[in-house]
Amino acid sequence: SQQGEEDPQALSIQEGENATMNCSYKTSINNLQWYRQNSGRGLVHLILIRSNEREKHSGRLRVTLDTSKKSSSLLITASRAADTASYFCASSAGSYQLTFGKGTKLSVIP
Amino acid sequence: DAGVIQSPRHEVTEMGQEVTLRCKPISGHNSLFWYRQTMMRGLELLIYFNNNVPIDDSGMPEDRFSAKMPNASFSTLKIQPSEPRDSAVYFCASSDPFSGTGFDNEQFFGPGTRLTVL
């Protein structure tokens, strides 16, 4: 079953603006990951944050993790049209499996 | 590395026919996953293998679905007989959780097979 839930389901912003997506999960995790999926393509790993980390950066991406609230957020700064995609969070309880949410569809308007 | 390779990329078949989807994981990865993605249900894990052994097939919808991994470089997902409700995009992903300094179970996805059952 899908454990992660992203919010919002869809987001439309202007190029140059920041985009924030949220994810909630239900059980204790070892790490939480974010993936991007362009239309008609497979998922691509963006960033992984471990349960003992609170914030992580990668280029224009910033991920936060609040284990007390069982939530994470993905911030994309200075968005570009090429950032248009669906974004998924995936939680890991420490096994090989990941539990994916249903995704946030981001549209960046040029 | 070429990444995860899936074939065919598109498959259109008629109800009742057998469908075989193929996957070649990234060399050296010891975990392989089959997922199904639909608008209604999102991304569902069907089965995963570790070191060629099926570990969890609880996501396989029914007996019409079967998966094999005869060696470390090849896996198949078979649907027999196929039904219109099997129409979806099927992804294969691989992973090597212990390749880095810690447990890092990042998954690498193939491009998917878009299956249409008429």
- Which segments in chain B show pLDDT lower than 50? none
Nearest to A30 among B42, B48, B103 (CB): B103
Minimal C-alpha gap between B14 and chain A (Å): 22
Nearest to A96 among B48, B109, B111 (CB): B48
Q: What is the pLDDT of residue A1?
A: 30
B49 touches chain A (CB under 8 A): no
Among residues 9-48 of chain A, which lie with CB inside 8 Å of chain B? 30-31, 33, 35, 41-45, 48
For β-strands A71-76 and A19-24, DSSP reports them as antiparallel
Q: What is the mean pLDDT of residues A27-49?
A: 93
Chain A residue numbers with beta carbons less than 8 Å from the beta carbon of B107 are 43, 45, 90, 98
Within 10 Å of residue A109's Cβ, how many Cβ atoms? 11
Q: What is the pLDDT of residue B44?
A: 92
Higher per-residue confidence, A104 vs B62:
A104
Whether the pLDDT of residue A61 is over 60: the answer is: yes
Nearest CA in chain A to B91: A42
Q: What is the pLDDT of residue B26?
A: 95
Q: Which helix (H) or strand (E) holds B21?
A: strand B19-24
Cβ–Cβ < 8 Å for B88, B37:
yes
What is the CA A63 to chain-centroid distance, rounded?
8
Q: What is the mean pLDDT of residues A41-46?
A: 94
Q: What is the pLDDT of residue A7?
A: 80
Q: What is the pLDDT of residues A74-85, one digit of tens each?
A: 999 999 999 999
Cβ separation of B43 and A2 shorter than 8 Å?
A: yes
Q: What is the pLDDT of residue B100?
A: 58
Q: Model confidence at A4, in pLDDT bands (50, 70, 90)? A: low
Residues paired with residue B31 on neighbouring β-strands, in sequence order: B50, B95
Q: Which helix (H) or strand (E) holds A13?
A: strand A10-14
What is the DSSP-derived secondary structure letter of residue B85?
G
The lowest-confidence range among A55-64, A93-102, B89-98 is A93-102
